[in-house]
Chains A and B, each alone.
Chain A
Amino acid sequence: MEDFLWELKTERFLNGEMTPEELLAFEQEQVAEPELKEYVTLSLQLKKALSEKDWFSHKNTSAHYNIVKKWYQEEDVLDFKEKIQQYAAEEFTSKKKVYSLKKYWIPIAAACILACIAMIYQFTAQPSMQQLYSEYATWSDTPSFIVQDENTTNGKEQIELLYKNKQYEECISAAEKFLHTAATDKTNVMIYKGFSLVQLHGYSKALNVFETISKSDAIDASKGLWYMALIYLKTEDTENLKTTLQIITTSDTNYQYSKALELLHSIE
């Protein structure tokens, strides 16, 4: 009963839902029970660490802080700071220079021609879709069914092993059998099914699997979008690739948000 009550109170405390009377009583309870106090403090820190909008806001009094403060005054760190400041000054200001049109019309015309050549060069020199695919596709980055302290589920472990042993057709059959009956962990098993289809070059079937994940109400539904993007990259379907990457980059909580931004930048 205690665990249920601790979580209930902590939840209300963190969400600011306690009345002043409840808050006072909860603070007193924390003084009397240091373990509860630690649970609340760590819950708050965890909330900050996993938040995409909030950050640790306390005054730092850790043992490490005073050591680190000195590091930022040491010569090598200051030298590095100066180096990147100089580098940034060159990198960023070189793009801001403006010339008078009248005085520089000949250089401008020359520059325009050069720019056109450069654009053509850049267009042809951009990494190909297949190069980008080799860089971003991570079909070996699979979810793990290895558990830490609870009973293992043989069906899921078997699916994982079949995939790792490159027995893709068997993996698909085992995944389908699992999905037919199971109620939990469906997303991860569907990921194995989709990955196996990709390995067998069944891209349109794999797309269907990942689309189902992306439209599910699972917490990691956005994984489906990232894997769809990888297939569009592989099949060089630029239009759908861009649309999918744009959807991923609408929220930084989506799976592989930063890679999607990079990839979008690379193809635009």
Chain B
Amino acid sequence: MTQKEDSIHKFLNGDAAFLKQLYAKNYYGVETYILKNSGTKDNAKDIFQHGLLVLYTLLKKDKLQVSSFDNYLFSVCKNLWIKQSSQNSVTKLPLQTLVDESPDLASFHVEQLQWSLYKEKYELLKETCKSIIKMTLANISYAEISKKLKYPNENAARQKAFRCKTKLFKMIKSDSRFKNLKNN
């Protein structure tokens, strides 16, 4: 059993010593991120708890394969905070209430899987494609993109972006997870 498999095994079994180590190793990174992004320590505690629960369900029920346990936990917590802070308070996830939070958690769970699928396929692209896609999504003008990436003009850069995105979408659509995750 590799170290990663051992971590996942202990986590899914709720091993007390492992959980203690998990909090010590990962909580403060999440807290620092949330404090830097307009959150509070209480927000950080709630997000970390929800992050652990979502990760547990992803690993146990969805049999999700992760390349790094700690990095994926951080990404789940980060995405939960992005979701919570980008939406209004109605959809916030209260930790200790009688309200059934399963619809909100399930919604985030599916979105996290979508996020993983998009990120995973994006990482398979060549660096030039990754750069142009990242720049277009960051609202950098095509005039600037063509200058930075040395394309003869804006239209050439647009055509390259189109080809890169089409290639990425083809990879995403051909993955067996896509059909299950897309909205009907």
Interface size on A, residues (CB 8 A): 67
- Judge whether A3 and B79 touch: CB under 8 Å: no
Distance in Å from the Cβ of A238 to the closest Cβ of chain B?
19
- Judge whether A54 and B163 touch: CB under 8 Å: no
- Judge whether A62 and B182 touch: CB under 8 Å: yes
- The 8 Å CB contact of B53, one of A68, A81, A249, is A81
User: B74 at the A/B interface (Cβ < 8 Å)?
Assistant: yes
- Judge whether A88 and B110 touch: CB under 8 Å: no
- The 8 Å CB contact of A57, one of B75, B87, B162, is B87
Residues 180-223 of A at the B interface (beta carbon under 8 Å):
183-185, 188, 217, 219-220
Cβ contacts under 8 Å, A262 to chain B? 25, 29
Cβ contacts under 8 Å, B111 to chain A? 55-56, 60
- Interface-side segment among A22-30, A72-80, A103-111, A157-165: A72-80
Knowing that A49-B122, A50-B119, A147-B126 are A-B contacts, what are 20 other residue pairs whose CB atoms are under 8 Å apart, sorted by A's residue number? A6-B162, A7-B162, A11-B136, A11-B142, A11-B158, A42-B172, A50-B134, A51-B82, A51-B137, A54-B86, A57-B86, A60-B110, A68-B62, A68-B109, A71-B57, A72-B101, A80-B53, A81-B53, A219-B131, A219-B135
What are 20 A-B pairs at a CB distance below 8 A?
A3-B166, A6-B162, A7-B159, A45-B118, A50-B122, A51-B82, A55-B83, A56-B115, A62-B183, A65-B106, A65-B110, A68-B61, A68-B106, A71-B109, A76-B60, A84-B19, A85-B49, A149-B167, A185-B127, A265-B29
